[in-house]
């Protein structure tokens, strides 16, 4: 009969059910509760992964908006948080399921290699004296999805949980939308508070900003100075950085040899190389400083020998969009440095090259 759940076996003449046994649908409540607890733990860890990716987007926004150095540092914090939370996610999955996909290690090993190469590129952009900071952001954006995909490929499918339970992954459309939106919002807020890419004042206020940027330097300081006006804060900051191993170089105008001889002698006695700008110095040259090949300080009447209106404001330029201008100014300094006459302590006339 068509309505009967039983059908006859043609050979054994024994009734057989055509639907699955109710025992197959039975799930132990204790196991379901355990699975649900693990699932909630994984959701919390996934949120930490998402937070790390938000840090990455925040740093990228800050770099474009104002300060590429601060942005690169925030990206680093995001990469660290993402790495730790991803490994915790893998560990929780291993404890939960009792195993992981060993075959995925060799099958997707190239993802791990690419992620490690991305970390190396990021560290080079962070720690080296290079203006191409954007390479670090490109590497970070490669690292997040590649390392995350590799770790998730090692996890076996999660056991069933109670009806209505849910899971979350950093790579879903909703998560990625939230990462981009929140990262941009937070990055705009932090970027607006930064002094990058904007006029920041003059006089004492400007000199304090110069000192703060000098203290933040790690590799090099290239400074073109027309006049040393109330320079004791700047001089002390330069001396400390020279003692800390930062490569400090200072170019001065010939007039400064008579008008600021004491300040120049102080730099020379501290072992800071000082050279005199050549007579054929371009007319467009203005006082400026390049820190770590990625931060440009330009302007301020306190550094100039004239009262041109555009010299009354110190301008800090450190956004990633201005990296080409920063690179060009640093290159100009290196060229002029090679064609300038060095000074020696005690202060004497420029030596003949």
Parent domain of 273: 198-342
Q: What angle do CA 291, 188, 59 make, to 5 degrees?
A: 55
Q: What is the pLDDT of residue 121?
A: 95
Q: Which domain-ending residue is among 192, 211, 236?
A: 192
Which stretches in the chain have pLDDT values below 50?
1-23, 197, 302-307, 309-310, 352-353
Show the DSSP H helices in 98-172 as ranges: 103-107, 109-127, 134-153
Q: What CATH number does the domain containing 237 carry?
A: 3.30.870.10
- Looking at the domain assignment, is residue 117 inside a domain? yes
Q: Are residues 70 and 135 in the same domain?
A: yes
Q: What is the pLDDT of residue 203?
A: 64
Q: What is the pLDDT of residue 16?
A: 44
**Residue pair 195/209 in contact by the 8 Å Cβ criterion:** yes
Q: Are residues 184 and 283 in the same domain?
A: no
CA distances from 183 to 48, 59, 67, 79, 115 (A): 14, 8, 15, 14, 22
Q: Are residues 164 and 263 in the same domain?
A: no
Q: Which domain-ending residue is among 129, 157, 192?
A: 192
Q: Are residues 251 and 337 in the same domain?
A: yes
Q: What is the pLDDT of residue 80?
A: 96
- Looking at the domain assignment, is residue 273 inside a domain? yes
Q: What angle, 0 to 180 degrees and rounded to 10, lies between the N-to-C axes of helices 134-153 and 109-127?
A: 150
Q: What is the pLDDT of residue 149?
A: 92
Per the structure, how many domains does the chain have?
Answer: 2
Q: In this predicted model, what pLDDT tens digit does every residue of 84-93 receive, in sequence order? A: 999 999 999 8
- Looking at the domain assignment, is residue 223 inside a domain? yes
Q: Are residues 143 and 267 in the same domain?
A: no
**Residue pair 137/63 in contact by the 8 Å Cβ criterion:** yes
Radius of gyration of the chain (CA): 31
Q: What is the pLDDT of residue 347?
A: 63
Token duo for residue 256: 């400064």
- Looking at the domain assignment, is residue 68 inside a domain? yes
Q: Are residues 172 and 36 in the same domain?
A: yes
Q: Which domain-ending residue is among 143, 169, 192?
A: 192
Q: Are residues 77 and 115 in the same domain?
A: yes
- Looking at the domain assignment, is residue 6 inside a domain? no
Q: Are residues 86 and 183 in the same domain?
A: yes
- Looking at the domain assignment, is residue 99 inside a domain? yes
Tallying the residues shown for the chain, one arrives at: 353
């Amino acid at each position: 009969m068509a309505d009967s759940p039983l059908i006859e076996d043609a050979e054994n003449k024994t009734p057989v059910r055509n639907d699955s046994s109710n025992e197959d649908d039975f799930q132990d409540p204790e196991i379901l509760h355990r699975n649900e607890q693990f699932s909630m733990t994984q959701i919390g860890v996934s949120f930490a992964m998402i937070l790390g990716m938000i840090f990455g987007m925040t740093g990228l926004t800050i770099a474009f908006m104002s300060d590429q150095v601060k942005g690169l540092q925030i990206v680093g914090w995001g990469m660290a948080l993402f790495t730790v939370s991803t490994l915790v996610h893998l560990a929780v999955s291993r404890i939960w399921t009792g195993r992981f996909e060993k075959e995925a290690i060799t099958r997707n090993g190239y993802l791990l290699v690419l992620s490690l190469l991305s970390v190396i590129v990021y560290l080079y952009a962070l720690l080296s004296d290079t203006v191409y900071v954007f390479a670090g952001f490109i590497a970070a954006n490669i690292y997040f999805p590649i390392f995350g995909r590799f770790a998730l490929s090692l996890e076996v499918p999660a056991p069933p949980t109670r009806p209505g339970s849910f899971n979350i992954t950093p790579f879903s459309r909703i998560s990625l939308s939230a990462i981009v939106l929140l990262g941009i919002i937070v990055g705009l807020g932090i970027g607006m508070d930064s002094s990058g890419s904007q006029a920041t004042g003059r006089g004492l206020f400007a000199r304090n900003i110069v000192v703060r940027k000098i203290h933040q330097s790690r590799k090099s300081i290239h400074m073109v100075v027309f006049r040393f006006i109330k320079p004791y804060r700047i001089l002390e900051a330069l001396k400390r950085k020279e003692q800390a191993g930062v490569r400090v170089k200072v170019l001065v105008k010939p007039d400064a040899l008579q008008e600021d001889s004491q300040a120049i002698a102080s730099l020379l006695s501290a072992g800071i190389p000082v050279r005199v700008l050549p007579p054929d110095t371009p007319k467009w040259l203005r006082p400026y400083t390049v820190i770590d090949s990625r931060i440009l300080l330009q302007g301020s009447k306190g550094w100039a020998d004239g009262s041109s209106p555009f010299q009354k404001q110190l301008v800090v330029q450190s956004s990633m969009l201005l990296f080409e201008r920063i690179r060009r100014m640093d290159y100009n300094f290196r060229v002029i440095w090679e064609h300038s006459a060095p000074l020696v302590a005690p202060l004497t006339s420029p030596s003949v090259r």
